Amino acid sequence: MIIAAADGSALGNPGPAGWAWYVDDDRWAAGGWKHSTNNVGELTAVLELFRATAHLDDELLVQCDSQYVINSVTKWMPGWKRKGWRKADGKPVMNVEILQEIDAELVGRRYRFEWVKGHVGHPMNEAADQRARAAAEAFRSGLPVPTGPGWPGGADHEGGDTEPTGDAAASVIEPDDDRDADEVPATLFDLDEAPDAWQTLTVELSTEEHERLVQRARAAGLSPEEFLRGLI
């Protein structure tokens, strides 16, 4: 089994951004953009990890601190595909082009995801986070990007300024973005920026509205909380 960590970083979110995956000091890769989001970085790290290991038959354990990424790949994506890559409310799925590329890379692969808490000293997660942030800082400073050795015999990765395509370049920030507190404003529903980590939101529903929410969540194969989170 290959154990790898994948992480993203965005300075300002959106802003200079980076991605990285890490197995050990001889097998890691990183890259980024002049302007993107944390979620794009998180998703791209997973995509590039699968691409780099596509020539291998080993099971891949992906350690990730983004529940948005894990839920997107392991829970929500099948339903999105059935609905033509739209959410339960009919709105287009964010970052759809990257998700479609990940979906294609998963075919025939043996893999599983493991959630790890970020910024608590987890060695693999810290290694990936440091490299993703270093890429983002390189773009902010106009310095060479530390792209890493990649995977010997694997697909070449592009660590340079590959601009995100489609809605990935202007995606709304999900509430589980993992960023440094001193780089995030204190607003909740700003369309460009959002707070660090999860926020508590109280929603008052009538009995009829609650029943309708439960029915739609069941139809989508989600809990009412997950369904409501997707709407937000």
Query: Active-site residues: which are they?
Result: 7-8, 42, 65, 119, 129
Q: How far apart (Å, rounded) are the C-alpha atoms in residues 69 and 174?
A: 10
Residue 77 contacts residue 99 (beta carbons within 8 Å):
yes
Phi and psi torsions of 225, nearest 5°: -65, -45
How far is Cα 8 from Cα 129, in angstroms, rounded to an integer?
Answer: 7
Closest CA to 217 of 129, 94, 127, 89: 89
Sequence-ordered list of residues with C-beta below 8 angstroms from that of 167, at least 6 positions apart, any chain: 92, 94, 95, 96, 97
Gyration radius of the chain's alpha carbons: 18
**Beta-strand (E) ranges in 25-136?**
27-36, 60-64, 111-115
Q: Which two tokens stand for residue 161?
A: 């300024």
Tally of CB atoms within 10 A around 43: 29
